[in-house]
Structure 1
């Protein structure tokens, strides 16, 4: 697949465009919002130094991006179409039906939805068999994970075709075998986010302290191994077997709160002011640049220690 279309050019859509361009693909974009093309080209310029450091494919040019005025024109010649409109079910379904109507028969269609099940989004499509969820992570142009989730009408061959495509653009596609709200990674992040809000709401820790607990503790380990292998090491020579015997009973203790706290004005202000104080004089753009520099170096380390990590399926 050499020609791709991105429908919806917000943060995620622009991230996809930057990655596709860096991999030497021709990209067509569509977004009816005023000023969308200007914002997209600015976003690409912002991401480009990090992409150059990671390494660009042959024949790469930012000029291989074309904006179209209509969704029909944008999708007509595409081999792969990535939808990224706002996370509203009816809007997504309407846009996906329009994409499906005008795309060529052999094209496949992915959605960046962070939580909606693909079976729901397939409803009303004339060719639901060529649709699946392709959920990435911000910044898409650097982070390699993409969750692939098929719906009840998705053709298995389309899933495999999508898997091969994402591998070809240096991503780590994770095929989710059973669709569930929020997929896998977002459900894990949501659990941590809820508990973090409780800690701030209950006065146990500030936003900066919660961030420090992750940055200098669990986060460093998770970047290399993830929670299961990390706990496997916690069990000593017997690994997870001993870890579960020793620490398993603690799972029944009321340490955590699964439901999110009420997002009161007081809690919102505590979170907002905490983040702003922590950021100090640094703008969001400043923080993004630091994040990108860090991720480039971190990805090099991950690839050094896990060169053959297999994310082809979640069992």
Structure 2
């Protein structure tokens, strides 16, 4: 078994692919005081990467830079293998082309040193499908960010069929160490968690526009001025827990469960079995952390007010600019 790099021992990250995602990752790694070795075969990749880092740096500065953070601590290399040489962690962000991912990840796995994790930013491919060409896929994992990676904290981490447990754990530990919010998934799922939820809203929105039921403007406002204000605080599951009042998730499911069969979406609803009900109730309880409903409501209300004020202030500042 390879001995993985401890999170605090990682000083250099190879960013393979310097587009929107790869460039955003590079900016974030730099802001955490890390050095970046980059590779991208596209014309003008170096200039494009420099522009991405420069554009992200004011926001990263406002969020707070790590000691020693240097936007110039980045080097561009002529091959992927050279970029990976000497790197303590590898973040692959190539285009979403399965055959390209397979060949590139095989090359990166071969070039990476012992104990170096190679994480893919793929937005939907399972690692089991991407790792088939690698001679040794044990260090290959998914480290799926949300765009832009320098600003959105979420990273979903999951291994493939042949990923070593140490690699999954090491990737999750590293991302947490540099300030990311990590979901360490226990099983592969195409699209992972966040993209599947986002895609469900997106497809329903397209259905409504196509049928003349709503405009894009109405759909956007229905989220920004509606449930979107609550989600940064509690997310959809804990939001529905609060919707049940003192009875919480159990009351909400028992009372509104039949509406799952109402034609409110083009998606088929799952059967609300006793097992699913119990899982949702138990999960809401864990998310609540034993806090009483009144405390959760007060937390939500404070945060929603803060979000509304912050958004309004950002819009006003934009209007003055």
TM-score, with normalisation over the residues of structure 2?
0.80
Secondary structure of 1:43's match?
Answer: helix
| Structure 2 match to 1:182 | 191
DSSP 3-state at the match of 1:24: coil
Corresponding position: 1:120 with 2:129: yes
**Does 2:149 correspond to 1:144?**
no
> Runs of 4+ in structure 1 displaced over 2 angstroms?
none
Partner in structure 1 of residue 245 of structure 2: 236
Structure 2 Cα separation of the partners of residues 177 and 72 of structure 1: 30
- Structure 2 residue aligned with 1:41: 50
2:108 is matched with which residue: 88, 94, 99?
99
Q: Does residue 1:164 correspond to 2:173, yes or no? A: yes
Say whether 1:202 aligns with 2:200. Answer: no
Cα distance in 1 between the residues matched to 2:81 and 2:127: 22
C-alpha distance in 1, partners of 2:81/2:138?
20
1-side partners of 2:244 and 2:111: how far apart?
A: 55
Structure 2 Cα separation of the partners of residues 125 and 26 of structure 1:
27
Provide the residue aligned with 2:262 in structure 1: 253
Which structure's relative contact order is higher, taking Cα pairs within 8 Å and 6+ residues apart? 1
Residue 291 of structure 2 is matched in structure 1 by none
* Aligned residue among 140, 145, 163 for 1:131: 140
Alignment check: 8 A CA contact 1:2 1:26 kept? yes
- TM-fit CA distance, 1:254: 1.8
Aligned partner of residue 21 in structure 1, secondary structure = helix
Q: What is the alpha-carbon root mean square deviation over aligned residues?
A: 1.3
For the 8 Å contact 1:194–1:258, the answer to whether it is kept is: no
For residue 28 of structure 1, what is the aligned residue in structure 2? 37
Report the alpha carbon displacement of residue 94 of structure 1 after superposing the two structures with TM.
0.6
Task: Tell me the equivalent position of 2:63.
Answer: 54
Runs of 5+ in structure 2 lacking a partner?
1-9, 269-305, 311-321
Partner residue in 2 for 1:19 = 28
Contact 2:13/2:87 (8 A) holds in 1: yes
Question: How much does 1:255 deviate?
Answer: 1.6
Asked whether 1:225 is paired with 2:239, we answer: no
The number of residue pairs the alignment matches comes to 262
Q: Distance in 2 between matches of 1:94 and 1:191?
A: 31
**2-side partners of 1:188 and 1:177: how far apart?**
18
Q: Which whole-Å CA distance do the structure 2 matches of 1:31 and 1:208 have between them?
A: 37
SS in structure 2 at match of 1:219 = helix
Answer yes or no: is 1:214 the counterpart of 2:226: no
Structure 2 residue 98 is matched with structure 1 residue 89: yes
Give deviations 1:176-225, integer Å, cap 9, x for gaps.
Answer: 11101111110000000000111111111110110000000010011111
Q: Which residue of 2 aligns with 1:68?
A: 77
What TM-score comes out, normalization by structure 1 length? 0.81
- In structure 2, how many angstroms separate the alpha carbons of the residues matched to 1:8 and 1:217? 37
2:225 is paired with a residue whose SS is helix
Q: Deviations over 1:160-183 (max 9, x none)?
A: 111110011100110111101111
Q: Give the C-alpha shift of residue 106 in structure 1.
A: 2.1
Alpha-carbon shift at residue 77 of structure 1 (Å): 0.8
